Amino acid sequence: MTDLLLKGANLLGDNGADVLVREGVIAEIGSIRAAAELDGRRLTVVDAAGLVLLPGLVDLHAHLREPGREDAETVASGSAAAAAGGFTAILAMANTSPVTDTAEAAERVFDLGRAAGLVDVQPIGAVSKGLAGAELAELGLMARSRARVRVFSDDGKCVHDARLMRRALDYVKAFGGTISQHAQDPRLADGSACCHEGEVSGRLGLPAWPAIAEDVVVARDVQLARHTGSRVHVAHVSTAASVEIIRWAKAQGIAVTAEVTPHHLALGTDLLTGYDPVFKVNPPLRPDEDRAAILAALVDGVVDAVATDHAPHARHDKEHAFPDAAFGMLGLETALAVVAEVAVRTRLLSWADVADRMSFAPARIAGLADQGRPIAVGEPANLVLVDPDASWTVDRSASQSLSRNNPWHGRTLPAPVVATFLRGECTAYRGRVRGQFDPEEIA
């Protein structure tokens, strides 16, 4: 492995320094001479002056579709999209076909991630067998497997049965696991609903579900977490009321964490007026007052993390009339840029805050010991270089994902990812992934 020297990088957007990486670990930080060799070892030198150096990003919520829907995404293509977006670890949701509800299924996803080698892929296990919401999946066996599953979710569906949710929370407490809940009461949000219930849905004549369908499940689950002493994580929180419930629960000392997606921070119900199915997502895009509330909660730390909910779909599943199209949109390659646009350029978050919300906190929630680490001597060199002063225009045809349901297509966003490093090895460079560029290009 060639040694790596990042010259003049702004660590977490602060003071510039040189960072020397040896054998995948940060070996030295300071003022380091640049040469073709250092102490007799071959050295790749990267001019990082003016670039922000962050810890590699960690995504708590990505749909990689493999096995079962390799036409939409594979673990390899999703890993490539993640690396291009600055991620060094992603958690793969369980709603594959077959469902990731056994140790064998979890290990298969884990092994596919290792084979791709671009990011650490950590499978999420299903809470219930087949996501049916009736019987617990093999939680203990998945936790003891080579994949060491620590987060469990029926995402795409809500664990709506309170008794099953309580049993799951009790079970995972023994090994420090977390239940990630897709908060959507199915009796309040039936199968025909496709957007937020409000003025826009009424005017457009679209079947919709109310925000309270999320709120009541969040309220129930934080009480169950208090009762069991276990950990619940609220996936893709999207309403102002849910934020206030989480705020109250944290004040009570309840073990609850939450994530918000970039698209819920930046996109609103006004985009539905064109009936474009790319904007059909679950939970739905919300009105401005909800978006303002979740952004404020991300800033003050009530919402712990940003997660992409990367949801690729083949064209034949997405290109339908709005009510009939599949839910979901791409997010891995654009997440950091969207957060930079809505929170960094507006001075609501610093780059150090971004590192917390997109690396440190998600790694801690997921139980990933070697990810989300500080940029310090002795730490794994999972890193991303970002150009804070540049902009880029999103082109869906250039995506590393197999799918094209990209809501940001044609938009100009800030802070492009320049390079991503997984344990010191460059996995992506200016949007291209390892195998598409010569490593000498980064020098």
CA atoms within 13 A on the CB side of 404: 8
| Reported CATH class of domain 56-366 | alpha beta
pLDDT at position 437 is 85
pLDDT at position 36 is 57
Q: Is 155 annotated as a binding residue?
A: yes
Q: Is 95 annotated as a binding residue?
A: yes
Residues 6+ apart with CB under 8 A from 301: none
Where do the domains of the chain lie?
3-53+377-395+405-442, 56-366
Domain 3-53+377-395+405-442 sits in CATH at: 2.30.40.10
Q: Is 196 annotated as a binding residue?
A: no
* Residues tagged active-site: 309
Q: Is 327 annotated as a binding residue?
A: yes
Residues 117, 401: Cα–Cα separation, whole Å: 16
pLDDT at position 38 is 63
pLDDT at position 439 is 76
- 3-class DSSP string for 28-89: EEECCCCCCEECCEEEEEEECCCCEEEECEEEEEECCCCCCCCCCCCHHHHHHHHHHCCEEE
Hey, is 224 helix, strand or coil?
Answer: helix
Q: Is 310 annotated as a binding residue?
A: no
pLDDT at position 42 is 81
Q: Is 64 annotated as a binding residue?
A: yes
Q: pTM for this one? A: 0.97
User: Please, which contacts does 200-207 make with residues 24 or more away whose CB atoms are closer than 8 Å?
Assistant: 200/269, 200/270, 200/272, 200/273, 200/287, 201/269, 201/272, 204/272, 204/273, 204/275, 206/272, 206/322, 206/323, 207/323
Residues 197, 341: Cα–Cα separation, whole Å: 27
Q: Is 182 annotated as a binding residue?
A: yes
List per-block mean pLDDT (blocks of 10 residues) for the chain, which spans 443 residues: 90 93 96 69 90 98 98 98 98 98 98 98 98 98 98 97 98 98 95 93 95 98 98 98 98 98 98 96 97 98 98 97 97 98 98 98 98 98 98 97 98 97 97 87 77
Q: Is 175 annotated as a binding residue?
A: no
Q: Is 320 annotated as a binding residue?
A: no
